[in-house]
Chains A and B, each alone.
Chain A
């Protein structure tokens, strides 16, 4: 069946991408200036001891063997120990991944849904004041760097108005002095709002503008004209006839914007100190915690690849015209 084959091909492509990501990190960490063991080895050690350490890290093997071992370790999620936490990287990241998904998933869904909704409204009312003002405002925010937008939110809503916490994910005082489950959930949501707005805004405006363009093109199609001529209500023509087809390019663009919003997630998590993978990547890089930084990048790339495949397959379901070969 075509669909299964298509799915299979997408997964294979994802695996290839993953291999390329692994290869990049492997060579990146090999070109590192100086000996990777210089932090561990003491110049006073005898050559025999040095050779023993070298052997224990597998650095005396040929580069090809090292590469093979590296791939095996990455695929079995054996990502080494974090310098800072002195614990396996996998263990550190296992606690960070849910936080990242908690922020990233609703932001992507919200951005797509809101963008498509508003985009089709402004395309429908082309040349109205509403269209011009929303397009300009959308553009302005689309082009605003995420971190700038996020920091302004912090300044206005957290610092000046005091409505939201400035950073973090939980209120430690509340949690240590025993809070009920519902209080904890409300606390997390309270912390989530500002980062969520920032990350949603990052891709929402792009979605809206794209939906507008795509919808303007679709509205000129004959079948839309025909639907109108048949006397169907405006709402039905707009939502059931035009928007259905106009959504398709937006979904394609969503695929391309995933890697950008993963980057946006890193920035958002950093400025809000949201304890996710992106924030960990930032702190690990600042603290020169190579294994952890590499692990974070690996996980972020993995999330991107999986998200792209999921959206791609959803697209294949949405558009019956797509061919699976």
Chain B
């Protein structure tokens, strides 16, 4: 299955890369994404060059004096600190770089998890469309869509305390696979009656083999758009939860930066501390959306522009 998928992707790539390059929005997305990828990789290097006082979580610049305007160690951008410092004298730029890294970790891992679950359930549901397996999975999808999960995450953290990043990722995967599942199911429903699937069945291929060898490689690319939305949504959800103060306090994510800024009531005093994380979240989520949308226009010919 993996081999088929890879060859399928290679073909898709060859055929569609020129199309993707031609799409303006898609290229903007790729550029923004590479910029953040660079920032994420640059994070540890920056701390390495500047020394441990620039560490994103525990670092503090002890040479700073109290800024009379903010009444704390928060200083506006300078040569030493390109994005200024926060209220305890920690480097904002270093935190920003670390947040960029965390955004990738959170977004990508949740999207991969959701893709795996969504694809498997979507294939099962579509292949056995109309049976009890299909109804069970689709009703579960309907139910999960109806549960307001930011409030659920808040209630969970009310019980077990601030959520560790790994716990958060697992819960998010559980609540993110439904979109992918629906797309894959719809496509599988139409593919399972194609002649080539019938011929595979006649030659004695097992259900498992038909699903994963013959159907899966044809349907997976269709979920690109859903996946890009999951990445953006997951990053925003993590930042929302962290911002409310229920995130992992050992991880300096963008949401956590804004939470500290607000908790220290520096929101209106130190814009250099407050604006970068918010813009970072917005830009990275937009980039994923743009890429997903361009991919969608490529694999979904109905959306393509008529020449």
A and B part of one assembly: yes
B146 touches A217 (CB 8 A): no
B residues 268-282 touching A (CB-CB < 8 Å): 268, 271, 274, 278, 281-282
Within 8 A of A (CB), among B139-182: 139, 142-143, 145-152, 154-160
Q: Smallest distance from the beta carbon of A320 to chain B beta carbons, Å?
A: 22
State which of B145, B258, B262, B268 has its C-beta within 8 Å of the C-beta of A259. Answer: B145
- With A140-B286, A220-B306 already in contact, the answer to whether A278 and B151 are too (CB < 8 A) is yes
CB under 8 Å from chain B, chain A span 244-259: 255-256, 258-259
Roughly how many angstroms separate A1 CA and B140 CA in the complex, as a whole number?
A: 27
Other-chain residue from B149, B152, B289 in contact with A143 (beta carbon distance below 8 A): B289
Q: How large is the interface on B (under 10, 10 to 19, 20 to 34, 35 or more residues)?
A: 35 or more
Query: Chain B: which residue is nearest A33 at the CB level?
Result: B160
B155: which A residues are within 8 A, CB to CB? 25, 28, 281, 285, 293-294, 297
Asked if B160 and A32 sit within 8 Å, CB to CB, the answer is yes
Q: Mark A267-309, 1 if CB is under 8 A from B, else 0.
A: 1001000000010011011101010011011001100110010
Q: Is the CB of B246 within 8 A of A263?
A: no
Q: Kindly supply a per-residue 1/0 record for chain B positions 58-101, scoring 1 wherever the CB is within 8 Å of any chain A CB and 0 otherwise.
A: 00000000000000000000000000000000000000000000
A29 interfacial contact with B, CB 8 Å:
yes
Cβ contact within 8 Å between A151 and B282: no
User: Are B146 and A305 in contact, CB atoms less than 8 angstroms apart?
Assistant: yes
Near A by CB (< 8 A), chain B positions 251-307 give 255, 258, 262, 267-268, 271, 274, 278, 281-282, 285-286, 289-290, 302-303, 306
Smallest Cβ distance from B306 to chain A, in angstroms?
7
**A155 and B268: CB pair below 8 A?**
yes
Whether A204 sits at the interface, judged by CB under 8 Å, is no
A273 to chain B, nearest CB (A): 13
Q: In the assembled complex, how far is the CB of residue B174 from the closest CB belonging to chain A, in whole angstroms?
A: 11
With both chains docked as a complex, state the minimum distance between the C-beta of A209 and any C-beta of chain B, in angstroms. 9
Write out the residue numbers on chain B whose beta carbons fall within 8 Å of the beta carbon of A267.
150, 240, 243-244
In the complex, the answer to whether A144 meets B150 with C-beta atoms within 8 Å is no
Given that A28-B159, A143-B282 are known contacts, is A17 also in contact with B244, CB under 8 Å in the complex? no
Interface positions, chain A 115-162, Cβ under 8 Å from B, are 139-140, 142-148, 151-152, 155, 159
- The answer to whether A301 and B156 touch (CB under 8 A), given A139-B286, A146-B240, is no
The reply to whether A266 and B159 form a contact with Cβ atoms under 8 Å apart is no
Chain A interface, number of residues (Cβ within 8 angstroms): 58
Q: Does A52 contact B (CB under 8 A)?
A: no
Q: Find chain A residues with CB under 8 A from B157 CB.
A: 285
A285 CA / B240 CA spacing, docked (Å): 15
A262 cross-chain contacts in B, Cβ below 8 A: 148, 150-151
- Give the distance to chain B from A248, nearest Cβ to Cβ, in Å: 16
CA distance A284 to B145 in the complex (A): 25
Are A28 and B145 touching (Cβ within 8 A)? no
Among A29, A264, A281, contact of B154 (Cβ-Cβ < 8 Å): A281
Known contacts A146-B240, A285-B157; decide if A259 and B286 are in contact (CB<8 Å): no
Indicate whether A286 sits within 8 Å of B245 (C-beta atoms), given known contacts A145-B236, A281-B151, A305-B146.
yes
Asked, given contacts A144-B282, A148-B282, A297-B155, whether A139 binds B150 with beta carbons under 8 Å apart, the answer is: no
Give the interface SS of chain A, mostly helix, strand, loop or mixed.
helix
Is the CB of B118 closer than 8 A to any CB of chain A?
Answer: no
The answer to the question of B126 belonging to the interface, with a C-beta cut-off of 8 Å to chain A, is no
* Cβ-based interface call for B119 (8 A): no
> By the criterion CB–CB under 8 Å, are B160 and A300 in contact?
no
Identify the closest chain B residue to A220 (Cβ). B306
Q: State which of A20, A270, A293 has its C-beta within 8 Å of the C-beta of B143.
A: A20
Which residue from chain B places its CB closest to the CB of A264 in the assembled complex?
B150
Query: Is the C-beta of B43 less than 8 angstroms from some C-beta in chain A?
Result: no
- B278 x A144 contact (CB < 8 A): yes
Whether B232 is near chain A, meaning CB under 8 Å from some CB there, is yes
Q: Take A140-B286, A145-B239, A217-B303 as given contacts and tell me if A282 and B147 are in contact as well, using a CB distance cutoff of 8 Å.
A: no
Contact among A31, A143, A297, A305 with B151 in the assembled complex (CB-CB below 8 Å): A297
Does A79 reach chain B (CB closer than 8 Å)? no
20 A-B pairs (CB sep. < 8 Å) = A17-B146, A29-B159, A32-B159, A33-B160, A143-B285, A144-B278, A144-B282, A147-B240, A151-B262, A159-B268, A216-B303, A259-B147, A263-B150, A263-B240, A267-B150, A267-B243, A293-B155, A301-B148, A304-B146, A308-B146
Interface residues of B (CB under 8 A from A): 139, 142-143, 145-152, 154-160, 232, 236, 239-240, 243-246, 255, 258, 262, 267-268, 271, 274, 278, 281-282, 285-286, 289-290, 302-303, 306
